[in-house]
Amino acid sequence: MVKELVVLTLTDNAVEAIRDLMVGEDVPSDAGLRISAKADDAGTLELTLASTPHAGDQVIEKEDVRVFVAEDTAPILDDKALDAQPGAPGQPTFRLDRRA
């Protein structure tokens, strides 16, 4: 069976926010932001820093950042763009928008 690749896109703001999150963190150079379903809250996504993708994760790369999308979360992200708004240092607000 061939897996379809996630077509989640990253805005320039999201790339910058992820890059900022990595600054000063003791994470490997191939680390990234992981998007997964929150286990105890149906319909809620969780974003965490991960040093490597989990088994089955799809990897999205743009410029020098990586986003890992959990296998069970991929279908709901296939027409979305990840965007970010700056917040306090190291605390951006991420949002998903439907791509036009």
Concatenating the DSSP letter of every residue in 20-60 gives HHHTT----TT-EEEEEE-TTSTT-EEEEEESSPPTT-EEE
Q: How far is CA 5 from the centre of its chain?
A: 14
Instruction: Identify the pLDDT of residue 67.
Output: 95
* CATH 1.20.1440.230 is the classification of domain 9-98: no
Spans of all domains in the chain: 9-98
22 falls in which pLDDT band (50, 70, 90)?
Answer: confident
User: Phi first, then psi: what are they for 77, rounded to 5°?
Assistant: -105, 0
**The pLDDT of residue 2 is above 60:** no
- What is the average pLDDT score of the chain? 85
Provide the token pair at 77: 């992200």
**The pLDDT of residue 14 is above 90:** yes
| Overall average pLDDT of the 34-53 stretch | 88
| Overall average pLDDT of the 61-86 stretch | 91
**The pLDDT of residue 69 is above 60:** yes
Sign of the dihedral through C-alpha 44, 9, 94, 99? negative
Instruction: Identify the pLDDT of residue 26.
Output: 76
